[in-house]
Amino acid sequence: MMKKPHEVFDDHLKAIKTLNPFAVIDNYAADALFVNRESTYKGKKEILTFYKKRLPRLKSFNANTIRQSMCSNIINIIWLVKNKDVVNDVYIIINEKIQYQRCSGIIK
């Protein structure tokens, strides 16, 4: 049975908490796009490079979900991060993989 988009997203959040970039990248499609304010990362190799550099900085990540909505295979999340930034993440999940992610926040 195929995973539903929200199940893929839940797996993604669990992988992020492990701080293991290889576990995180497993959630993405081979040709996925990850877009943030800094750059656009194309494909697993570029997204892995991003997570190798930035994932350790998420160790103390503390955010509260303000709103989460889902329509078909699109998940939209608005977070309030500990430093008072509001971050908006949009995920498009197709065939049990994240095909597209856009993040409005910056991981310092």
Q: How confident is the model at residue 94 (pLDDT cuts 50, 70, 90)?
A: very high
Higher pLDDT, 45 or 13: 45
8 Å CB contact between 106 and 89: no
Strand partners, 67: 78
Read off the pLDDT of each residue in 18-33 and give the average, rounded to a whole number. 96
pTM: 0.87
The pLDDT score that the predictor gives to residue 66 is 84
From CA 87, how far away is CA 7, in angstroms rounded? 21
Q: Which residues contact 57 (CB under 8 A, 6 or more apart)?
A: 107, 108
Position 61 scores a pLDDT of: 67
Q: Where are the alpha helices (DSSP H) in 21-76?
A: 21-25, 43-54
Task: Give the contacts of 5 (CB within 8 A, at least 6 positions apart).
Answer: 70, 72, 73, 74, 75, 91, 93
